[in-house]
Structure 1
């Protein structure tokens, strides 16, 4: 690791990534409570999670490329203001429609953690890049999982609205810390915003490894989103547990997230195609376990550990591959990858809700298993282009 990226700054980016991305996932353990508040179906309330992820995907598309053109501090100033307003608006929502609109805005403004990943890759040297990406991703993944734990308990104790208000307070404090401690980066790109956005198509068209990474990541995240969107309904219907128990499953997933640093280091030592193969095997095994665990908490716990570990290993390897090229455009290639990743998440949320509504937990499990098998087939067919 070079002196350009000190450990305190690296861990600040990691923690910040986790706290901001948590805004996207507070709603998942709260969906049942929200459906009761507005007297709507489980399928209808799943639109809260869906539009949060769609907002995030569009935030990635239109905001994150600016990291190659505009100072990171300037982006943070405007983005955090809109983020806090959106969180407060969600808490004040008097109808499901208003909550869905606010959730979309929360997703759009919470794309900021994806500035930290390429920033870590840029400030680290070649030897330490895998570790830096792994540490930031570890914080991001712990934020995703930890948010479900926190929101589940807060929802049971104080109601779902309080979670959004608390999120707004956390964002105000975090913005002050980032303005104080985060290094200011001034990119060298001199083109217009339109030219910047047009270049996304160039990188997508000319980089097969980037296209494959986006497809692998999107399919894997679709499966995980289907799982987390419907788990709260499984807990209510089959076990009689509330949102706090559903959120507590995030504690189990953190086991996988804590391995991010290890996976990052392994990326510097082992063939990335082998790591991808191992990741996909873990995903397939996890969904087979889920299929037979509709009345087994132990099975669900084992499945969560494996599915999070498999996704994380795949995700970090994907990012290490795309960041190894085009150093002048890391924010843009990360945009392309993450847009694909979260479009997959939005698709998984929709398909998961439909699978639950029509085929219950078996439908959700077969959906996740099918998506994982498609990843395996894509990897086997196009393995030679993965690193090209």
Structure 2
């Protein structure tokens, strides 16, 4: 085929896509959530440890800063180059293989004797930590359509809890046994989880394998974005809400370490425990999506996200306002995130890994944008300017929702309107 023409993905000897998905027990959902949280935490462990790492390996400040940068670059590359493999490979084998390779990368970091080895290990850790998104797509594909939002919400709660608690756990463990112990402990836990996942995950793939080459697989991710308006819209929502999320969490330690708080790193890290309350509400958003309330859920969440910056602006004078703002912000971000993933997976369930991987690239862009802009703005203009930035990202998301609210967000209806109901995902040819 030539030009912009796309073809259905051919499938051989596989479970029919209309066959009922195997039931997901509560224990299995919990396992998915724990595995996701442990994997994604590896991307964030280093943030409280940078100074200690730098002193240990005689790294310059610029080189120390590249530890976080390379980890996130690796993660972004993994989203595009590794996550789509879940659509053409046995996801059980893929998850176990990526987890075991992640163990190796973590061991390299823990035993690094030079800055070069440390940086290589951190880049590999970021690259392989995208097993998180493979697991999310796997769980979504195993869930029956009527409960997909609930399952995605529960698994996503594990992801967010892993992100929020990573800094707290790494700081505490490093205080007890040094920074290397953080990565040794994570390698051990990841190896144990790989063994458990190997034993309990379904032996068939979450979606049937396709006769699709790797190059065409990657091109088809781009093709999906070109074809699906809903995917583009939800990717923009993801970029904006995670820019707001990162605006807070990348800079909040700065005012809390100054007057009137003068909090220690461990105390600041414990703030993530407050954010967990909002993360746990992700399951509620999933249930609302299962009831067909995705548009209302998105609008309400974006309104709460915008409102959260008002109490956050009073951080210096009111700890209670800080707590309220953190809970509102995390609740809103996770509600939008769960809604996004539930909707885009339903567009083409047989391309779930490509859809979620491509969507998460925008998440990474938003996170990086918020982090860089917030830290720079705090140095130049203070906490009030940071809150104005976060509110601006949030208002842009709310305006985008209001401007597009009359468009369909029902993937089945969208497919029917194109005359493509039941059509497999494009294969990029």
The answer on whether the counterparts of 1:53 and 1:343 sit within 8 Å (CA) in structure 2 is no
Shift of 1:365: 2.0
Query: Out of 147, 170, 173, which is 1:128 matched to?
Result: 147
Alpha-carbon contact 1:217-1:315 (below 8 Å) kept: yes
| SS class of match (2:263) | coil
Q: What's the counterpart of residue 171 of structure 2?
A: 152
Cα 1:375–1:98 shift into 2, 3 Å: farther
Q: CA-to-partner distance for each residue in 1:234-285, whole Å, 9 max, x for gaps?
A: 3323422222112211110110111122111111225322111111111111
SS of 1:118 mapped into structure 2:
helix
Deviation, structure 1 residue 382:
2.2
Bigger radius of gyration among the two: 2
Aligned length: 387
Q: State the TM-score, normalized to the length of structure 2.
A: 0.83
Distance in 1 (CA, whole Å) between partners of 2:253 and 2:265 is 7
Aligned residue in 1 for 2:422: none
Counterpart mapping for 1:1-388 below 5 A:
3-31=22-50, 33-34=52-53, 45-93=64-112, 99-186=118-205, 187-238=208-259, 239-385=261-407, 387=409, 388=414
**Matches of 1:287 and 1:78, distance apart in 2:** 42
Does the aligned pair in 1 maintain the 2:21–2:141 contact within 8 Å? no
User: CA separation in 2, counterparts of 1:141 and 1:382?
Assistant: 27
Over 3 Å counting, the alpha-carbon distance change for 1:280 and 1:100 in structure 2 is farther
In structure 2, C-alpha distance between the alignment counterparts of 1:224 and 1:113, rounded to whole Å: 19
Shift of residue 346 of structure 1? 1.9
**Bigger CA drift: 349-358 or 65-74?**
349-358
Distance 1:57-1:277 versus aligned 2 partners, 3 A rule: same
Separation in 1, partners of 2:288, 2:120? 41
Q: Is the contact made by 1:208 and 1:386 (CA closer than 8 Å) also made in structure 2?
A: no
Distance 2:343 2:255 in 1: 37
Distance 1:173 1:253, change over 3 A: same
**Distance of 2:296 and 2:402 partners within structure 1:** 11
How far did 1:364 drift? 2.4
Task: State the alpha-carbon separation in 1 of the partners of residues 26 and 384 from structure 2.
Answer: 45
Q: Secondary structure at the match of 1:84?
A: helix
RMSD in angstroms over aligned alpha carbons?
2.3
**Residues of 2 paired with 1:13 and 1:24: CA distance?**
18
TM-score w.r.t. the length of structure 1 is: 0.92
**Is contact 1:31-1:232 (8 Å) kept?**
no
- Secondary structure, aligned partner of 2:169: helix
Q: Deviations over 1:365-388 (max 9, x none)?
A: 222111111111222222233615
Query: Which deviations, in whole Å up to 9, do the C-alpha atoms of 1:60-104 show, x marking residues without a partner?
Result: 111110001011233234322331232233334456665444322
- Residues 215, 154 of structure 1: alpha-carbon distance in 2 compared, 3 angstrom cutoff: same
Q: Which runs of 5+ in 1 are unaligned?
A: none
Residues 8-62 of structure 1, C-alpha deviations (whole Å, 9 max, x = no match) = 2222111111111111121233345556665755x87554333322221211111
Unaligned runs of 5+ in 2: 1-19, 415-429
CA displacement, residues 146-203 of structure 1 (integer Å, 9 cap, x when unaligned): 2222122223333333212211111111111111111123332111011111111111
| Greater mean alpha carbon deviation, residues 309-318 or residues 261-270 | 261-270
Moved more, 305-314 or 358-367: 358-367
